[in-house]
Amino acid sequence: MSARLDERLERIYQEVTHRNPGESEFHQAVHEVLETLGPVVAKYPELAEHKVIQRVCEPERQIIFRVPWQDDRGEIHINRAFRVEFNSALGPYKGGMRFHPSVYLGIIKFLGFEQVFKNGLTGMPIGGGKGGSDFDPKGRSDDEIMRFCQSLMTELYRYLGEYTDVPAGDIGVGERELGFLFGQYKRITNRYESGVLTGKGLAWGGSCARKEATGYGTVYFLQEMLKARGDDLDGKTCVISGSGNVAIYAMSKAMQHGAKVIACSDSAGIIVDEQGLDLARIKRIKEIERRRISAYADEVSSARHIAGGNLWEIPCDVALPCATQNELDGKDAKRLIENGCIAVAEGANMPTTPEGVRLFQEAKIAYGPGKAANAGGVATSALEMQQNASRDSWTFEHTEQRLREIMIDIHRNCHETAEEFGMPGDYVSGANIAGFLKVSKAMMAMGVI
C-alpha cells in the first residue's frame, strides 16, 4: 500500500485485513480512504470515540447465494451471487449489480464500501450497497441471460424493496438484464414497485439520461477540474478505456465539448484513430450488434486495432479510465505524465492503483477519483427513484440539467473540503473526507447502530 497511516488508523486497517482475509480489492479501497482521514479524526475526536470508522468498514449485511440455471442445451450451471448491504445511514442501500467471472466477495465489498461515500457525496438520500455474480454473460443467448436473471432474482427479491435495497446495473448488467430482473421481481411479489430497481427502460419506469449519466457526469466533473485551472476541454485529445456504457457516454459528452477522442478499448485490445473516433459506429457495434471493439478497425481504414495493446501508451491530453479496477498502474501513470497528460477523471471504480494515484498527485495533474467523478450515475438513479415515487417522468433536458448541477456541486464540495483540510487541489482527500463526514454525522445521530 502507498502512504503510511497514523497509529490509530493503522490499527483499524490491520483489524480490517485480519477480519476479511484474501479480499485485496477491499483492503485497497479501505486503505485509500483511511489514508486521508488523519486530519478528520484529529478535528473530530468523537468519531474515534464512537468507533464510527470501524463501523463504516463493516457491512451491515452480506448475502451470498447459489444461482442454478440451465443453458440452451439443457446443461445445468451453478453460479454464486452476492449482495453486500453496506450502510443505510443516509437511505436505502443503493448500488449496481456486476456480472463478470472475476466477481467474488472482495470485489463486491470494495465496490460497496466506495459506494457509501460516493452516495453521500451526491447529497441524495441513498445508502451504499453493491452486488453481483461470477456469471459470464459473454457469448450467452438472450434466453440464457433471462434464465440466469430469473434464477438470481428468485433468491434476491426477499432482500430488496424501494425503501430497503435498490440495485442497478454495472459491468455486464444493462437495460436487458435489468428488464429480466425487474420482470421476475414483479412476478414473485405481485407488485409493480418501480422504485426497486434503477436503470430501467424508458417504457417501464426508467429515467431519461440515466443511461448517459455516469459517462456524462464524469466529463462534467472533468470540465470543472479544468475550469478550476483556467482551462477547458476544447481541442484536447482524449483516450478512454473500455467501450461499455460508461465509456460510450463519456466519449459522447467529451466530443460534444470539443475534445477529440482518439482511442478506446475492450478486454481484448485497443482501437486507435488519430483522426478521431466515430461515436455512432461505436454505438452500433457495441450497443446494437454486441460485437468486439476490433470490428471498428475492420470497418474504418484510418483506425487500427492492437490486440492486447496498452491504451495508456497513447499520447493524450486527457485520460478517462472507464473499464474496471486497477487497470492503470504506476508504470501507466508515469507514461501518461511523460506524454503530457494534464487530467484524469475516473468513470470506472478504483481504476488507478495506489502507485498510479500517488504519481498523478505528485505531478499535480488534475486527478478526479471515481468516487466523485463517476457519481453522476447513482445520482441520476436517485432522480429515477424520485420520479417513480411521484409517478412522474421528467424530460431529458430537465434530468440532464439536474445531473449537471449535482456534478458541479460534488466538484465544489470536494474542492472546498480539500482546501479546508489543508490539501488544496487534492480531490482524493476532498471526496473521501466530504463523503465520510456526511455518512458519519448521520451514524452518530442515530446512536450505536
Of the residues 97, 121, 246, 365, which one makes contact with ligand NDP according to CB under 6 A: 246
Stretch touching ligand NDP by CB under 6 A, among 56-64, 241-249, 417-425, 428-436: 241-249
132 lines the binding site for ligand NDP (CB under 6 A): no
251-to-155, 289, 409 alpha-carbon distances in Å: 37, 19, 22
Which of 198, 324, 353, 429 binds ligand NDP (CB under 6 A)? It is: 324
CB of 210 to ligand NDP, least distance (A): 8
Interface pick for ligand NDP out of 243, 353, 399, 440 (rule CB under 6 A): 243
- Nearest approach, Cβ of 41 to ligand NDP (angstroms)? 28
Per-residue binding letters, 202-221, with ligand NDP (x by CB under 6 A): ------------x-------
Residue 221 C-beta: closest distance to ligand NDP, Å: 12
Of these, 36, 87, 150, 245, which contacts ligand NDP (CB under 6 A)? 245
* Sequence letter at residue 72: D
What's the closest the beta carbon of residue 97 comes to ligand NDP, in angstroms?
10
How many residues bind ligand NDP (CB under 6 A)? The answer is 23
Decide: 183 and 189 in contact? Cβ < 8 Å: no
Q: Which of 94, 109, 118, 130 is catalytic?
A: 130
- Closer residue to ligand NDP, CB minimum distance, 14 or 102: 102
Give exposure, 281-303, as e/b (b: 16+ Cβ within 10 Å): ebbebbeeeeebbbbbbeebeeb
What DSSP assignment string belongs to 363-429?
A: TT-EEE-HHHHTTHHHHHHHHHHHHHHTT----HHHHHHHHHHHHHHHHHHHHHHHHHTT-TT-HHH
Pairing of strands 165-168, 128-133: unpaired
Q: Does 377 participate in binding ligand NDP (rule CB under 6 A)?
A: yes
- Closest CB to ligand NDP among residues 92, 169: 169
**Which residues neighbour 420 within 8 Å (Cβ) at sequence distance 6 or greater?**
none
- Quote the least distance from Cβ 377 to ligand NDP, whole Å: 3
Give me the half-sphere count of Cα atoms (radius 13 Å) on the Cβ side of residue 159: 21
Beta bridge partners of 344: 319, 367
The interface mask with ligand NDP, positions 284-323, x = CB under 6 A, is --------------------------------------xx
130 part of the active site: yes
Q: Spell out the alpha helix ranges (H) of 229-318.
A: 245-256, 279-283, 294-299
Within residues 83-122, the interface with ligand NDP by CB under 6 A covers: 100
Q: According to the binding rule CB under 6 A, does residue 266 interact with ligand NDP?
A: yes
Burial class (CB in 10 A: 0-12, 13-18, 19+), 4: exposed
Cα distance between residue 187 and residue 201, in whole Å: 17
By CB under 6 A, residue 179 contacts ligand NDP: no
Positions in 137-176 near ligand NDP (CB under 6 A): 169-172
User: How many CB atoms neighbour CB 320 within 10 A?
Assistant: 33
3-state class of 357 per DSSP?
helix
Q: How far is the CB of 276 from ligand NDP (least distance, A)?
A: 19
Question: Per CB under 6 A, does 349 bind ligand NDP?
Answer: yes
- Distance between CA 369 and CA 218 in Å, rounded? 10
Judged by DSSP in three states, 11 sits in: helix
Residues that are catalytic: 130
Binding site for ligand NDP (CB under 6 A): 100, 169-172, 214, 242-247, 266-268, 322-324, 347-349, 374, 377
